[in-house]
Amino acid sequence: MKYSHPLYSSLAEQAAIQEADYHDFRKEFDDLWAKDNDMLGLVLKCHLIVEYYMTECLRVSLPGIDRFDEARLTFAQKHHLLTGWTFGFPWVKDAVQALNSLRNKVAHNIHYSIEEKDLKKIYDCMDPIYGAKKEPSKRGPEALIDFATFASMALAGWAREIRRHAPATGAAGYNELCKQRYAEMREQDGAGNTTETPPEN
C-alpha cells in the first residue's frame, strides 16, 4: 500500500485539507499582525520606563536592603510598597496601577483591543495637570506618553530628594527630617507672632 496515513483516503485529500488549513492560519495570523503594534509597543515601553523609576525610587528609599535586585519584586509589589509611604505617590498611584493592568491585558491576550475605559484613570490623573497649564486635554497615545513622563519625573524627583537629604536612612529618615523641619518652622512662626501685653496704667 503506497499511501498509509490512517485518517485520509489519499495523499491528494490530505494535501487539499492541509492547504485549506494553511490559508485559514494565514488569514488569522495576518489579522493579528495587522493589529495596532504602535499602541501595543507604546504601552509596553511606558510600563518599562515607569517601572525602572519605581525600582530606583525603592532602592533609594530602602537603603538597608542588600541584594535588592535578587528580591525580584513584581510591578504590583513595587506599587504596593510605594503607595504605603512615599510622599507624593498617591497623586499618580491609581494611574500607575491602571498602566500595569493595561500592560497585562495586552501582553497576555493577543486579541485584546485597547479601549478608552482602559485609559480613564490615566486621563483622570493628567486632566488636572493640563488644566493647570491651560492646555487642552490629550487622549490616546499622547496622554499615555505625557503620563509616563510625569510619573517617571515624579519618581525620579523623590529618589533624588531622598538621596540628597537622607542617603543613609532612606524614605523613613527623609520623612523624619521633614517632620522635624515642619515642627521647627511652626515654633518659629509661633515665636514671631507673640506680642507683649502692654502694662496697665
pLDDT 10s digits, 2-34:
666 778 788 888 889 889 988 888 888 787 777
- Residue 186: inside a domain: no
Q: Is 142 left (phi over 0), alpha (psi -120 to 50) or beta?
A: alpha
Domain extent for 123: 31-171
pLDDT 10s digits, 79-128:
888 866 555 567 788 999 999 999 999 888 888 888 899 999 999 999 99
- Residue 7: inside a domain: no
Higher local confidence (pLDDT), 43 or 32: 43
pLDDT 10s digits, 126-153:
999 999 999 999 999 999 999 999 999 8
Do the Cβ atoms of 97 and 79 come closer than 8 Å?
Answer: yes
pLDDT, the chain, mean: 85
- Rounded Cα distance between 54 and 48, Å, is 10
- Residue 199: inside a domain: no
Lookup result for grid cell 492560519:
25
Angle value at C-alpha 31, between 25 and 33, nearest 5 degrees: 100
- Residue 4: inside a domain: no
End-to-end CA, the chain: 132
- Residue 122: inside a domain: yes
Looking at the structure of the chain, the number of domains it has is 1
- Residue 124: inside a domain: yes
